[in-house]
Structure 1
Amino acid sequence: MNGRQMSSDNASEQTHVNHALLQFILILLSGLGPTSFQIFLPSVPSLVKYFETTPATANLTVSLSMISFALACLVYGRLADRLGRRTILLLGMAILIIGSFICLSAQSIEAVIFGRIIQPAGGAAGVIAARIIVMDIYHSEKAANVMSKLVASMMISPLLGVPLGGLLTDNFGWRSNFILIGAIAVIVFIIILFSLPETRKAQTGVEAGKSNLFHDYGQLAKNATFLGNAFQFGFAQSAFMAFMAAAPIVLTQTFQLSASGASLLLLMVSGSAIIGNLSASRLPQSLSLRRRLLLGSIIGFIFSLLALTLSLINIWSIPALVIPTMVFSIFYGITSPAAQAGAIGTIKPLAGTAAGLSMFISMLLASVATQFIAEFNSGTPLVITFSLALLALLSLIAAIVTLKKSE
């Protein structure tokens, strides 16, 4: 079964148990990469003390790992189209294991930084390949429903990973995080090896000869449907992530909340996005991806505009800031799976390349938006709500473009 191709036609003939097992594996793969990143965050202060280094140097274990993850998405997307999905998953898990071992055995901060560059480069394979496999097997509306579970897995991972990482660091030291991630990666490698089928055969020599990196990216760059879906997801995710990054300053400075109090409110916002993801998996398949995208983007923009309006008329309160953002987050959670399914499924032979490019676009937009808000964040709700509304508007425009070009 490992080497067999599973098309969308014969996939429907698989038993419920096979589909349940497959979705479990995909959810595990989708969450492992983000978990390997988030679980380490509480350990960063420990590195400063352990290696007697500066916080800026220790923070390179975070910033460089994000760059590594984004670039790896481009590479894996391309390789998935040329070599097959299962192959890059095995490669990615092997790289994740190697990166974890480098960090575990590191005797200098430079070695930890190097290992942290390698580690997310492996974990990115699961995030990309899981989405491509969904598009290989399921038709578009069903794919969006399954995709919502993968997105929920990525969102739940930080909620669990950060406190788990803190617990491990406090009780067993910072190296224990890498023992856990490395062990999980070994188990996942074995599961892939024996239980995961190849959903797309590697290209033949003739097919591979016809494929050109710049030609493939050019096809996607000229495809309005791909761009609309990719940028809708990118702008919506940027709005969500930028709010999550900037809100602690507003909540602690303007509203005088403690760090734990601010964390609780951010947990509510994150939970709203997860509710949206899980709700998306329950939407009727008769509701097309384009309609999901447009409806969710409209409602999300309305509530982001409400948050901005309340700030402009000087209604500065926790409910005025958090409640509209929670509603926005719900519909961000609903539209994200539809946008990803729409982007990846635009040109079937380039599903892997599309998955990598769309993920790269979203992470690039999110990093720019987060840094922009950080530069101008005065601690008041104005900057954060203006950014939320602007990014939500851009997300809505992208959804409208997608709908018009698809008609």
Structure 2
Amino acid sequence: MTNTTKSPGSLLAILALLSAIAPFAIDMYLPAFPQMMTDLDTSATSVQLTLTTFMLGLAVGQLVIGPLSDQFGRRRPLLLGTVVCLVASASCALAPTIEWLIALRFVQGFSGAAGVVLARAIITDIARGVQAAKMFSLMMTVGGIAPVLAPLVGSGVIHGFGWRGVFWVLAGLNLLMIIGAILLVKESLPPERRSAGGFRVLVSNAGQVLRNRHYLGFTLTFAFSMTAMFAYIAASPFVLQNIIGLGTTSYSLVFAAIALGLTITSVLSARVVPRVGPIRLTFIGVGTLLAGSAGLLLVITLGGTPAIPTLVLLFVTVSALGLILGNATALATAQVTKYAGTGSAMLGALQFTLAAVASPLVGVAGEQSAVPMAVTMVVASSIAALLLGTMTRGASMQPAEDGPEAL
């Protein structure tokens, strides 16, 4: 594949599928949390820990795989990671205890991180500026179908085959990812553009990335915005089913409808970004995220989690992320194009590390109250707004060089 700003739709589709391992591996089994508690004779906290370890695996895997891809290219780490993810998914389906499942979910996340981090790095290799922002938004639009379909498919699989069937379906998706990557993903980082080898070089590259103030501003904005969404995701099985009273099928439909809002705003973002600009769209998205989260906390605190207002505010809050994710990703990676793999890795690692922290936080009294979820969402979105407003001043999509901005 040559370094060009034009990318075929088939490549974008497979990159979206590869990066969608996270929503598929998270959202498909959420409706089964109560069933897993009974089947594995464990607690809600232990079941949520399988979500935490998966996200930690995604974070650590990206930190390892992303920088290595700056040295060895994108294609080989992508194929190897996806193969290991297939084996891990099948092993999760056979896990005899909750302890085994927790450990295997870490391996699944670590190996699945290859698709997540390298999909972003490949786009950074082949596109720049507004074109990159548009591609990221389109990729997340395609990938946004995953959280719409995943709970619906997961609900059907759980009804027919139990929670273990979800992981067999994930193994099948991993196989499809492998086939797509072999056929459609060529090497996007030629040898002359790769970093020299060695651990010292890896550390040096990471230092260059972390000293870029604008990169950190957009990356942390992305990560804390995602933390707000993961607080909702981790708490949703108990808030929507135990507190609001939805059944498994109704929960899946509502979860999919809320995810559809994110898909719609991602499509809108891709259409208007050439005219409005990615920076302005990111500010609009973060402002909406904060307003929606604050409204949600107010309603839950004063009204005792009424169904309609709670669901409407969740829809607005999650939909706001469609204006943030693709644009913040493009803005962050545009600051460090020379170290695309490392930059992509740190963005993703921060995202899933914070998400892993959010999961147990919302588990505190999460079976009886929606307040921990709402508080976590407000705090995360407030931090995102503060960092966006203070650390990204003067940033553009076309930095003069890849060196660090003055801190």
- TM bucket, shorter chain: 0.7 to 0.9
Mapped pair 1:6 → 2:24: no
- 1:301 paired to 2:290: yes
Distance 1:227 1:239 in 2: 18
Aligned to 2:183: 194
Q: Which one of the candidate residues 36, 39, 61 is aligned to 1:72?
A: 61
Give the superposed CA RMSD.
3.6
Structure 1 residue aligned with 2:403: none
**Contact 1:81/1:349 (CA < 8 Å) preserved in 2?**
no
TM-score (norm: length of structure 1): 0.81
- Measure the CA separation in 2 of the matches of 1:160 and 1:34: 10
**With structure 2 as the length reference, what TM-score do the two structures score?**
0.81
Of 325, 342, 347, which aligns to 2:314?
A: 325
Shift in Å at residue 334 of structure 1?
A: 1.0
Summarize the alignment of residues 31-70 of structure 1 with structure 2, pairs less than 5 Å apart.
31-40=20-29, 54=42, 61-70=50-59
Question: Among the aligned pairs, what percent are the same residue?
Answer: 24
- Residues 339-370 of structure 1: CA deviation (Å, up to 9, x unaligned): 11122222112111111111111122223234
1:86-235 mapped onto 2 (5 Å cutoff): 86-103=75-92, 115-172=104-161, 176-202=165-191, 207-208=196-197, 212-235=201-224
Deviations along 1:47-88, one digit per CA (max 9) or x if unpaired, are 7787x7645777765443332222111112112211111121
SS in 2 for 1:190: helix
Q: Residue 281 of structure 1 aligns to a residue in which SS?
A: helix
Are 1:345 and 2:334 an aligned pair? Answer: yes
Contact 2:29–2:154 (8 Å) recurs in 1: yes
Match of 2:344 in 1: 355
Note if 1:81 corresponds to 2:70: yes
Q: Contact (CA 8 Å) 1:290, 1:403: kept in 2 or not? A: no
Q: Is the 8 A contact 1:31 1:150 kept in 2?
A: no
Aligned in 2, Cα 1:402/1:331: closer, same or farther, shift over 3 Å? Answer: farther
Provide the residue aligned with 1:15 in structure 2: none
Separation in 2, partners of 1:28, 1:318: 33
**Distance (whole Å) between structure 2 residues aligned to residue 117 and residue 335 of structure 1:** 27
Which amino acid counterpart does residue 53 of structure 2 have in structure 1?
L
User: Any conservation in 1 of the 2:151–2:252 contact (CA below 8 Å)?
Assistant: no
Deviates more, 1:344-353 or 1:189-198: 189-198
Aligned-pair distance for 1:312? 6.2
CA displacement at 1:338 relative to structure 2: 0.7
Shift of 1:129: 1.0
C-alpha distance in structure 2 between counterparts of 1:110 and 1:210, whole Å: 33
Q: CA deviation at 1:173?
A: 6.1
* Distance of aligned partners of 1:204 and 1:264 in 2 relative to their CA distance in 1, 3 Å threshold: closer
Partner SS, residue 269 of structure 1: helix
Residues 134-163 of structure 1, C-alpha deviations (whole Å, 9 max, x = no match): 121122222222212333444432442344
Give structure 2 stretches of 5+ with no counterpart.
397-407
Q: Which range moved further: 214-223 or 195-204?
A: 195-204
* Aligned residue type for 2:310: L
